[in-house]
Amino acid sequence: MSAATHSLRRRDTVEGWLFIAPALFGFLLFMVYPILASSAISLFDWNLTGKPAFSGLRNYRALWGDEVFRISLLNTCKWVVVYVPVSIVASLVLALAMDMPIRGIIGFRTIFYLPVVSPVLVVALLFVWLYNSEFGLFNYLLSLAGLEPVGWLTNPRISIFSVAAMYMWKDAGYNMLIILAALQGIPRQLYEAAELDGVTGLRKLLYIKLPLLTPAFYYVIIVSVIYAFQVFTEIYIMTNGGPGYSTHTIAYYLWVNAFRYGKMGYACAQAMVLFVLIMGVTLVQDRLLGRKVQYDL
């Protein structure tokens, strides 16, 4: 290798590191460091003000005897199981509708995407009013049909599903946009060739669109599951974890322990359990879904 070639390669390497340095710094500062710090703090008893006292694995052992943590874990799993499939199906239906060649479709796409860019505080407070047992719009519509009012946020059996419905409505537009972009990336020649072979309607969806949408599904499913496991803001605003513990999730419960009870070590232990849970589920999804992703046209 000549000196000039070696110098050029060295310069390219330095330039490459300079380009990725901001992203790398942000990743180390906001991802790696918090994980390492949380794992270390989880081994201590610390109330944020006093001196940390080493407790070993006591915080982790205490989790399995904590009934509220078990309830929070169950609620989180309910949230993921309900939210993710329904959200993906709703986003697919919306994307298929928004891909139709009709006049004014761009306006409809904008309308369906607006909730995504709306502040979560505003959307959550809006749904608190809609869900109100006494004067909420949903119960008013039920009364017009002669039905009894429903305690959307006060009934422990349905409260978490009510919050999940709001979350789906707000975020369905994001997944819709990803799937719509994948739909519009499918070459029209494939549709024309299929039509020449007599493939139309539902068969076109099953044998052309869905197989070629697998990369988009792979992305939205994994991202949706990760976000669903970390749900906090909506719970905090709409129900504050209630009624009882019916809407406690792991993210909400660890926040309660950290900033209400001052049990930072215990909260970090919960955070590490959540981290391992999300990592495990993501790896399983990658193993199962990654094999079915079809990139070739």
**Tens of pLDDT along 212-256?**
899 999 999 999 999 999 999 999 999 999 898 999 999 999 999
Residues of the chain with pLDDT under 70: 1-2, 294-297
What local confidence, expressed as pLDDT, does residue 68 receive?
95
CA dist 166 and 262 (Å) reads 31
Which of 157, 104, 176, 162 shows the shortest CA–CA distance to 132? Answer: 162
The first and second tokens of residue 290, run together, are 């990654």
- Residue showing tokens 């009012």: 149
For tokens 């537009």, name the residue: 173
Structural domains in the chain plus CATH codes: 61-290 (1.10.3720.10)
CB 243, CB 16: distance < 8 Å:
no
| Residue 52 burial class via C-beta count within 10 angstroms: exposed 0-12, middle 13-18, buried 19 and up | middle
Q: What is the per-residue pLDDT for 92? A: 93
**C-alpha to C-alpha distances, 100 to 48, 175, 190, 248, nearest whole angstrom:** 55, 17, 17, 41
Distance from C-alpha of 199 to C-alpha of 51, rounded to nearest angstrom: 71
DSSP letter at 208 equals I
